[in-house]
Amino acid sequence: MSLDLAPSPVRSDAPAPSSGRALTVAIVGATGAVGAELIDQLERRAFPVGELRLLASPRSAGRSLTFRGRPVAVQVLDDDAFDGVDVAFFSAGAGVSRRYGPVAAARGALVVDNSSAFRMDEATPLVVPEVNGRDLPAEGAGRLVANPNCVTAVAVMALGPLHNEVPIRRVIAATYQAASGAGAAAMEELRASTAAYLDGRAFQPQVLKHPYAFNLFSHDAAVDPATGYNGEESKVMDELRKILGAPDLRVGITCVRVPVLRAHAMALTVEFASPLAAERAREILSTAPGVRLVDDVAANHFPMPNEASGRDEVLVGRIRPDTSDPTGCSLALFVVGDQLLKGAALNAIQIAEAMVGR
């Protein structure tokens, strides 16, 4: 089976939205890891940016970031920063989004929010365009759209097409989440702690609670003592139900941080309402938008973070029957996607493209 994973890691040929005019675009949280990817994606995908406003906290004001080969100064985030803004991308945490997202929307901006602030709000669409783009607000309707959790966005790229073929009843998942999910500082801590470990030097974690080099640990979101699930796991469970339009979907998940710089991986066991053959699942996923099938049994070549990093597509493979289910209704698969791209920035840009291109 040909996998064709080289050489170009990132799509740059996406058509520009046909808005007919250059837009004023704001990025809130521009100096973070996702903010940097948003800037890069705006340029790579030829989004019709006339003016780019980079917004961050006062400590970042005055820094310059590069867009289209030119420096753009970072401005302080305040209410007036949204005057005249057409599209505002938020990636600075739920508190900032709750404070400023409604302000930007009220001033006429399309707001695409990457935080958890509005994801489960009944009035706010939670969208992965390839899966539930139909849920985007109609022209002239709501001006705020939520971007899902990175695990949800990656997982649903594989689950959505299969759910359309045969309804999914249950998902059991274990994730292997990269440092990128905790931001640029966590990525740097992984680099520094790994270097210290190899040099035999002591290293005191500053960003994460546990030693990161050559280690893995449960995602450090707070655990709900009543359910035993942490906040990351609860988000994924709720968001999968909302995006798939399956409020009764049974989901169990364990989220684990692993010493990988970027690209989240996950093992999924999926129970369907009726039998779905592994070969039929491969056929579906091989033509699903935004998905690349990597399922070479002979070469033992399946999705890996180093091949997903920097790629737009989510890699899916290791598709096989779940032999623990005697009904034949369950499949196991392995899914890997770049947390900073489809898990965050790319999905946000795709939402804006769909809205602006109308």
* 207-221 tens-digit pLDDT: 999 999 999 999 989
Please report, rounded to a whole number, the percentage of residues in the chain having pLDDT higher than 70: 93
pLDDT value at position 196? 97
CA distances from 273 to 270, 327, 335 (A): 10, 10, 21
pLDDT value at position 310? 95
- Examine the domain organization and report whether 103 and 198 are in the same domain: no
How many domains does one find in the chain?
A: 2
Q: Is residue 223 part of a domain?
A: yes
Average pLDDT rounded to a whole number, residues 38-42: 97
Amino acid at 32: G
User: Using an 8 Å Cβ cutoff, are 56 and 74 in contact?
Assistant: yes
Q: Establish whether 329 is a catalytic residue.
A: no
User: Is the predicted pLDDT of residue 303 greater than 80, yes or no?
Assistant: yes
pLDDT value at position 3? 53
Instruction: Determine the Cα–Cα distance for residues 94 and 297; give it in Å rounded to an integer.
Output: 42
- Examine the domain organization and report whether 139 and 187 are in the same domain: no
> Of 163, 219, 255, 264, which residue is the catalytic one?
264
Instruction: Determine the Cα–Cα distance for residues 80 and 90; give it in Å rounded to an integer.
Output: 16
Average pLDDT rounded to a whole number, residues 67-92: 96
Pinpoint the alpha helices (H) of the chain. Answer: 33-44, 94-106, 129-132, 150-165, 184-199, 231-244, 278-286, 305-308, 346-356
> Of 150, 163, 255, 329, which residue is the catalytic one?
150
Instruction: Determine the Cα–Cα distance for residues 164 and 153; give it in Å rounded to an integer.
Output: 16
Instruction: Determine the Cα–Cα distance for residues 4 and 293; give it in Å rounded to an integer.
Output: 10
Residue 155's φ and ψ, nearest 5 degrees, are -60, -40
Return the CATH number at 266.
Answer: 3.30.360.10
Q: pTM for the complete prediction?
A: 0.92
Half-sphere exposure of 287 (CA within 13 A, CB side): 4
pLDDT value at position 61? 82
- Examine the domain organization and report whether 234 and 283 are in the same domain: yes
Q: Is residue 18 part of a domain?
A: no
| Domain ranges, residue 89 | 23-147+344-356
User: Using an 8 Å Cβ cutoff, are 343 and 154 in contact?
Assistant: yes
| Residue 138 binned pLDDT confidence (cut-offs 50, 70, 90) | confident
Q: Establish whether 264 is a catalytic residue.
A: yes
pLDDT value at position 15? 45
